[in-house]
Amino acid sequence: MSVVLMPILVLAVAGLLFGLLLAVASKLFKVEGNPLEASIDQLLPQTQCGQCGFPGCKPYAHAVVSGEADVNHCVPGGERVMLQIADLMGVEPKAIEEEPSAPMVAFIREDECIGCTLCIKACPVDAIVGAPKQYHVVIAEDCTGCTLCVEPCPVDCIDMLQTPELLEHWSWPLPGTARAELAHERKYGHA
Amino acid sequence: MAMHSWQRLGAKWLAGLIPLAEAGVHPDDCKVTASLAITDAPLPPLLVLPIRQHIGQACAPIVDAGDTVLRGQKIAKSQGYVSTSIHAPTSGRVVKIEEHAIVHPSGIGMLSIFIEPDGEDRWLEKLPAMADYAQRDPAEIREQIRSCGIAGLGGALFPTFIKLVRDPNHRIETLILNGIECEPWLTCDHRLMVEDAPRIVAGLKILRYLVQAERCVVAIEDNKPDAAAAMREALKQAGCADVEVRLLPTIYPQGSEKQLIETITGRQVPAGKLPLHIGALCENVATTAAIADAVLEGKPLIERVVTLSGDAMPKPANLRVRIGTPVDYLLRQQGLEDLHGVEVMQGGPMMGERLRHLDAPITKGSNGILAMRQQAREPESPCIRCGHCVQVCPVGLMPNELASHCRNDRFEESEAFNLFDCIECGACSYVCPAHIPLVHYFRYGKGQVAAIRRANAFAELSRQRSEAREQRIQREREEKAARRRARSAAKPAPSPVPPKAEQP
């Protein structure tokens, strides 16, 4: 009888012990949030523009990881970010749907501003300062160019201006040789 | 996609195996102006002075349109530490301050001060001269050099006063005067040494007093024996017998600061470090002469020697030109009217920039203006793995690998192959039999990496701001809820009127 009972008993006790161990470990070494989600969030340009259809960069990263969204929805990130996300997720790259526009910055025409604070509430990075019934102004160097402030403005006094190209930020284009173009085509030209 | 650590290690190790002694190239030196004495260029009808003529922060104009200025008057003052002032090259009237074309590959302009000369060329009272500099505080002399607007005239334009610190942790052992001028066609430093050697030696003595260097070397390439003789003579006259004049074999890019320091001291300036960290100071001969002017006479930097040459230049010359003189004016002076099929560039043919706008002015860094016949460019063909570029690279990089990484936007790999140690001397592009524009690829890569770094830094800032905003909204919501709870606790009887929605 003990020949049958002993192994069952030993296995049961061992199973219980390992189960306890796993339970303790899962409590002790619990990882907050999804690490993959965090690293995708790191790759995103943090404009919080919502052009991907999600209310910010973090929600989009969450959606990509949980499979709700494709890798090619970040408009300001463009090809480069799409390729990096696809690489991280281990999926095939997909063509981006919308070309990123030139970098923009919001500008409030002060003489038309009525001081309603609606744009201040809309700004995802708190880059507009002002108070009720006072002129509002955009802090240009903090503006991500997301255009979220344009729609709420009741008097339509916000313009999106193209940021002037700075001499310090100018960089050489790829050489215009056929081989350079071919390399670029190979890297980014998949449909 | 990412590079393995062993690959990175292999790249570093392989790069270390390349013997540096053979690095460099021997382009035809074409120094047709070597025997032509320096002459004064006439004053143009309008001078254009861009507000940034050095590495670092731009200056702020301190004159307004309509003001009259005198020769040597400060017209823009330096902003921040890495910056140096700009002075009026002649007396006259400030016409306007607006954007104007400069020598830059982008073609983007820069805010410039326009001065119309009055022809009198009247000096402002100069800064106090410091003929007795040896009795003065080095900090005072440095300040004089700073306020005279002196930056490295070899072309790098680093504000000179910054290099002249006495740092107890990094004592300067070797002071090197750079009279190499390894770029083909250029002869401005050569002529300055032949004609103005005593002034250079005076500057050398000031530098030596400032940094207390034990060893001084004047480095000259062996294609300029007359310059070496003039310098030796001047040194003898000035009683500097212990200063060595070294004739070095002619090879490009010997005149690059880090390469010259290695040749003279046998030590390499580590990546990302300054010559100061290995106890060396390297100054161009023209800068040294400008230092002598600044300290001994209180004269700010308002003119420089420019070589006008090239195979399409009718009258090649070495000219002493006021800073701010438009290039097209100089070209007309030298008889170049018809620019059809001619490419004009600033600097030597190896590292110079093609001028996109010929009305761009001469700045502190313009050592030469070359007018070259346009040549058809050979199309780029695939790399044949000859390894010639690897042999000639003076920094010991592998240009072939680097170019392929840059071409395919593999920036992580190109950084692992030390992209940022490239000095863009152009030796690799010069020897490449497949006509690969190697340096152009490296510039592209460097620009892209810098842009990515900037974008990442901005994204990080935006992330912080957006997180701070979320926290604030959360906090406000909690405070509101707490207030509501407190109110309902104070009023135990439920009111029949529903609570009014709070005003935003």
Is the CB of A165 inside 8 Å of chain B's CB atoms? yes
In this complex, do B443 and A179 lie within 8 Å of one another by their Cβ atoms?
no
Interatomic CA distance for residues A38 and A35, integer angstroms: 5
Q: Look up residue B233 and give its two tokens.
A: 């003579």
Residues of B in contact with A56 (CB under 8 A): 466
Nearest C-alpha in A relative to B108: A167
The pLDDT score that the predictor gives to residue B224 is: 93
Neighbours of A178 (CB within 10 A): 11
B411 φ, ψ to 5°? -75, -30
The pLDDT score that the predictor gives to residue A188 is: 75
Residues of B in contact with A178 (CB under 8 A): 379-380
* Cβ–Cβ < 8 Å for B162, B327: no
Is A74 in the same domain as A110?
A: no
In this complex, do A175 and B444 lie within 8 Å of one another by their Cβ atoms?
yes
Residue A185 lies in a domain: no
Residues of A in contact with B104 (CB under 8 A): 167, 170
Average pLDDT of chain A?
88
What letter does residue B22 receive in the DSSP assignment? G
In this complex, do B108 and A171 lie within 8 Å of one another by their Cβ atoms?
no
Name which of A41, A45, A172 is nearest B105 (Cβ-Cβ): A172
Is the CB of A57 inside 8 Å of chain B's CB atoms? yes
The closest alpha carbon to B89, from B302, B325, B298, B290, belongs to B302
3-state DSSP of B188-242:
HHHHHHHHHHHHHHHHHHHHHHHHCCCEEEEEEECCCHHHHHHHHHHHHHCCCCC
Is A161 in the same domain as A105?
A: yes
Render pLDDT for B360-415 as a digit per residue (tens, 0 to 9). Answer: 999 999 999 999 999 888 899 999 999 999 999 999 899 999 999 999 989 989 99
Residues of B in contact with A127 (CB under 8 A): 465
Residue A183 lies in a domain: no
Is A81 in the same domain as A113?
A: no
What residue type is assigned to position B235 of the chain? L
What residue type is assigned to position A87 of the chain? D
- Digit-by-digit pLDDT tens for chain B (504 residues) are 455 666 666 665 665 555 545 688 999 889 999 999 999 999 999 999 999 999 989 999 999 999 999 999 999 999 989 999 999 999 999 999 999 999 998 888 999 999 999 988 998 877 778 888 888 889 999 999 999 999 999 888 999 999 988 888 888 999 999 999 999 999 999 999 999 999 999 999 999 999 989 999 999 999 999 999 999 999 999 998 899 999 999 998 999 999 999 999 988 999 889 999 999 999 999 999 999 999 999 999 999 999 999 999 999 999 999 999 999 999 999 999 888 889 999 999 999 999 999 999 999 999 999 999 998 888 999 999 999 999 999 998 999 999 999 999 899 899 999 999 999 999 999 999 999 999 999 999 999 999 999 999 999 999 999 999 999 999 999 999 999 999 988 876 555 555 555 454
User: Would you tell me which residues 188-227 of chain B have a C-beta closer than 8 angstroms to some C-beta of chain A?
Assistant: none
Residue A120 lies in a domain: yes
Is A43 in the same domain as A79?
A: yes
List of residues 6+ apart from B404 with CB closer than 8 A: B383
Residue A6 lies in a domain: no
Name which of B105, B379, B455 is nearest A177 (Cβ-Cβ): B379
The pLDDT score that the predictor gives to residue B504 is: 45
CATH of the domain at A158: 3.30.70.20
Nearest C-alpha in B relative to A125: B466
In this complex, do B466 and A173 lie within 8 Å of one another by their Cβ atoms?
no
Is A160 in the same domain as A105?
A: yes
Residue A71 lies in a domain: yes
Question: Kind of pairing, strands B368-373 and B303-309?
Answer: parallel
Nearest C-alpha in B relative to A117: B504
ipTM: 0.81
Q: In a mutagenesis test of the A interface, which of B436, B465, B474 is the best target, namely the one with the most A β-carbons within 10 Å?
A: B465
What's the residue count for chain A? 191
Cα Rg, chain B, nearest whole Å: 28
Q: In a mutagenesis test of the B interface, which of A119, A179, A181 is the best target, namely the one with the most B β-carbons within 10 Å?
A: A179
Q: What DSSP element (H or E) covers B74?
A: strand B74-77
List of residues 6+ apart from A152 with CB closer than 8 A: A118, A119, A121, A122
What is the CB-side half-sphere exposure of residue B24 using CA atoms within 13 A?
A: 17
Residue A15 lies in a domain: no
Neighbours of B330 (CB within 10 A): 23
The pLDDT score that the predictor gives to residue B286 is: 95
Give per-residue burial for B336-365: e unless 16+ CB within 10 Å, then b: beeeeebebbbbbbbbbeebeebebbbbbb
Is A84 in the same domain as A135?
A: no
Render pLDDT for A71-80 as a digit per residue (tens, 0 to 9). Answer: 889 988 888 8
Interatomic CA distance for residues A96 and A82, integer angstroms: 8
Q: Which residues pair with B69 in a beta bridge?
A: B92
The closest alpha carbon to B259, from B387, B54, B106, B424, belongs to B424
Is the CB of A190 inside 8 Å of chain B's CB atoms? no
* Domain span at A71: 35-89
Name which of A124, A165, A171 is nearest B469 (Cβ-Cβ): A124
Neighbours of A177 (CB within 10 A): 19
Query: Of A22, A54, A89, which closes a domain?
Result: A89
DSSP line for A48-116: ---TTSSSSHHHHHHHHHTTSS-TT--TTTHHHHHHHHHHHHT------SSPPPPPEEEEE-GGG----
Q: Look up residue A112 and give its two tokens.
A: 């038309």
What is the CB-side half-sphere exposure of residue B176 using CA atoms within 13 A?
A: 29
Is the CB of A78 inside 8 Å of chain B's CB atoms? no
Interatomic CA distance for residues B349 and B343, integer angstroms: 11
Q: Look up residue A70 and give its two tokens.
A: 């494709």
Is A129 in the same domain as A78?
A: no
Is the CB of A144 inside 8 Å of chain B's CB atoms? yes
The pLDDT score that the predictor gives to residue B320 is: 96
List of residues 6+ apart from A7 with CB closer than 8 A: none
Is the CB of A187 inside 8 Å of chain B's CB atoms? yes
Residue B36, classed as helix, strand or coil, is coil
User: Would you tell me which residues 88-147 of chain B have a C-beta closer than 8 angstroms to some C-beta of chain A?
Assistant: 104-106, 108, 110
Residue A77 lies in a domain: yes
User: Would you tell me which residues 1-40 of chain A have a C-beta closer than 8 angstroms to some C-beta of chain B?
Assistant: none
* Cβ–Cβ < 8 Å for B368, B346: yes
The pLDDT score that the predictor gives to residue B5 is: 63
In this complex, do A171 and B451 lie within 8 Å of one another by their Cβ atoms?
yes
Is the CB of B455 inside 8 Å of chain A's CB atoms? yes
CATH of the domain at A67: 1.10.15.40
Q: Name the minimum distance, in Å, from the CA of A47 to any CA of chain B.
A: 7
CA distances, B386 to each of A27, B23, B99, B428, B442 (Å): 60, 15, 47, 12, 19
Interatomic CA distance for residues B413 and B1, integer angstroms: 9
A21 φ, ψ to 5°? -55, -45
Is the CB of A169 inside 8 Å of chain B's CB atoms? yes
Is the CB of B410 inside 8 Å of chain A's CB atoms? no
DSSP line for A122-148: H-TT--EE--TTS--EE-GGG-----T
Query: Of A27, A60, A89, which closes a domain?
Result: A89
Residue B504, classed as helix, strand or coil, is coil
Name which of B108, B409, B468 is nearest A187 (Cβ-Cβ): B409
The pTM for the full model equals 0.85
Interatomic CA distance for residues B399 and B415, integer angstroms: 12
Q: Name the minimum distance, in Å, from the CA of A167 to any CA of chain B.
A: 6
Q: Look up residue A88 and give its two tokens.
A: 């991280």
3-state DSSP of B271-327:
CCCCHHHHCEEEEEHHHHHHHHHHHHHCCCCCEEEEEEECCCCCCCEEEEEECCCEH
Q: In a mutagenesis test of the A interface, which of B462, B467, B473, B503 is the best target, namely the one with the most A β-carbons within 10 Å?
A: B462
Nearest C-alpha in A relative to B438: A175
The closest alpha carbon to B146, from B209, B90, B51, B78, belongs to B78
Render pLDDT for B191-241 as a digit per residue (tens, 0 to 9). Answer: 999 999 999 999 999 999 999 899 999 999 999 999 999 999 999 999 988
Residues of A in contact with B403 (CB under 8 A): none
First to last CA, chain A: 70
- Tell me the pLDDT band of A191, cut-offs 50, 70 and 90: very low
List of residues 6+ apart from A10 with CB closer than 8 A: none
Q: Structurally, how many domains does chain A consist of?
A: 2
Q: Name the minimum distance, in Å, from the CA of B436 to any CA of chain A.
A: 9
Domains of chain B: 127-299 (3.40.50.11540), 305-373 (3.10.20.90), 386-459 (no CATH)
The closest alpha carbon to B358, from B336, B335, B326, B332, belongs to B326
Name which of A87, A172, A178 is nearest B379 (Cβ-Cβ): A178
* Cβ–Cβ < 8 Å for B416, B410: no
Residues of A in contact with B408 (CB under 8 A): 183, 186-187
The closest alpha carbon to B160, from B70, B294, B287, belongs to B287
Distance from CA of residue B414 to its chain's centroid?
A: 24
Residue A137 lies in a domain: yes
pLDDT at residue A21 greater than cutoff 60: yes
Residues of B in contact with A49 (CB under 8 A): none
Nearest C-alpha in A relative to B460: A46
Average pLDDT over residues A119-129: 92
Query: Of A89, A113, A131, which closes a domain?
Result: A89
∠ CA B361-B367-B372, rounded to 5°: 80
